[in-house]
Amino acid sequence: MSGIKRQILALLLLFTLSLTGCSLGPTGPGIDSGEVSSGGTGGPSPGPTPTPTPLPTHDLLSVSLHANASNAIAVGKSGVILRSTDGGATWTDVSSAAVTGSVNLWAVSIGNSIALVSGDSGRILRSTDLGSNWTRIQGAANPFDGLAISLMGIGVKQAADNNAVVVGSAQVNQQNILRSTDGGQTWLGPINSGTNKSLSWVAYSTSLRVLAVGAVQDSGVSALDVSVNDGANWQLSGAAAFTGGAPAANLEGAAFFTDTEAIIVGVGGIVYRSVDGGVSWSKILNVPTVNDLNSVDYGSTKTIVVAVGANGTILRSTDAGNSWISITGAANPLTGTATVLYGVSLADDLKGVAVGSGGTILRTTDGGTTWTKIAPK
């Protein structure tokens, strides 16, 4: 072949290679030379998508969803704190050993702009950015800090972000309540609850009334404390306050709908309702479960109510707790399991989150009619 023909063929080959994007490397055309093509743009192609860090599988004991339906916080055993900014669809572990240690965190409550958490050893945590960062309240600001008391219920008045109450495990002197008037920065007490049994939940009304519920007393009646002055003083309810028989099992959850309407739930599927601010209570009959109920919350119109408990139990009411249906089958991914749901929180009549054993997180976007399992995957 003449030199001219060789030059022409070489030029044709180079022209062809330029059109196809191949390179002429040491082993011939079309062999990878170490450069990576990205859809013909000439830049590097993206690497593999990183695997998300799995969430802890410790039991989650409480959850609180902000009224904005976006910010949510869940807490649990071994100091776990999880945070969501998309209404519970995704979560980030924001636990800090320096703040929480490994103590169990029993309760969380979100106000308007602050969040409070309580746990074992008198631990109280406070956040001013809806859960990104936390400060431990200790020293003179927290009379229970470091003591052998489990603070199992905490509540902050949402509208004002100032008044808050925390309640705890049994104390011989019956002093197992603290209150705050500055949004949880400092705590006053201890305050006498009137019972030497544990209190496990706090519910704030829209005004001055506060409920605290707990274990069965020596009298055989469940502990139910009512305050009418933002937690400064408490009155223990006796058997006469209950219609349909006084509860004789531990009360685990409570919710105040308005200044007058409230609901309590407990062991064995018991449900009681009040329409006079907690002065008197009526037992709700025909509740469709005998499983323990651990938590209850309501939607924005005060008619949608959801209660959760043992064995994946989810109950729903559309008449402010007067009647209930059980959510089962495909609408409840925990149907037929031994999973315990410890907490539920509704932001409005549609969006809600429930949490439980083994790091379980469920989410609803239709007011508790159906639920989606978010974790564990």
Residue-wise pLDDT for 325-366, tens only, equals 999 999 999 999 999 999 999 999 999 999 999 999 999 999
Output the pTM of the full model.
0.86
CATH fold of 60-375: Methylamine Dehydrogenase; Chain H (2.130.10)
How do residues 203-239 score in pLDDT, each as one tens digit? 999 889 999 999 999 999 999 999 999 999 999 999 9
Phi, psi of 176 (to 5 degrees): -130, 35
pLDDT attached to residue 49: 52
Q: What is the mean pLDDT of the chain?
A: 88
List CB contacts of 358: < 8 A, sequence separation 6 or more: 57, 59, 339, 376
pLDDT attached to residue 24: 38
Which of residues 29 and 179 earns the better pLDDT score?
179
pLDDT attached to residue 16: 45
How do residues 161-184 score in pLDDT, each as one tens digit? 899 999 999 998 999 999 999 999
Where exactly does CATH 2.130.10.10 map onto the chain?
A: 60-375
Which of residues 32 and 270 earns the better pLDDT score?
270
Confidence of residue 13 (pLDDT cuts 50, 70, 90): very low
> Does the pLDDT of residue 3 top 90, yes or no?
no
| Alpha carbons 273 and 211: distance in angstroms, whole number | 13
Confidence of residue 51 (pLDDT cuts 50, 70, 90): low
Between the CA of residue 256 and those of 208, 272, 320, 324, what are the distances in Å? 11, 12, 11, 18
pLDDT attached to residue 345: 98
| Cβ atoms within 10 Å, residue 199 | 28
> Does the pLDDT of residue 2 top 60, yes or no?
no
> Does the pLDDT of residue 270 top 60, yes or no?
yes
What is the rounded average pLDDT of the residues 357-376?
98
pLDDT attached to residue 293: 98
Confidence of residue 160 (pLDDT cuts 50, 70, 90): confident
Task: Please give the share of the chain, as a percent, with pLDDT higher than 70.
Answer: 86
pLDDT attached to residue 53: 76
Amino acid at 214: G
What is the rounded average pLDDT of the residues 273-285?
97
How do residues 72-110 score in pLDDT, each as one tens digit? 999 999 999 999 999 999 999 999 887 888 899 999 999
How do residues 282-293 score in pLDDT, each as one tens digit? 999 999 999 999
> Does the pLDDT of residue 39 top 70, yes or no?
no
> Does the pLDDT of residue 145 top 70, yes or no?
yes
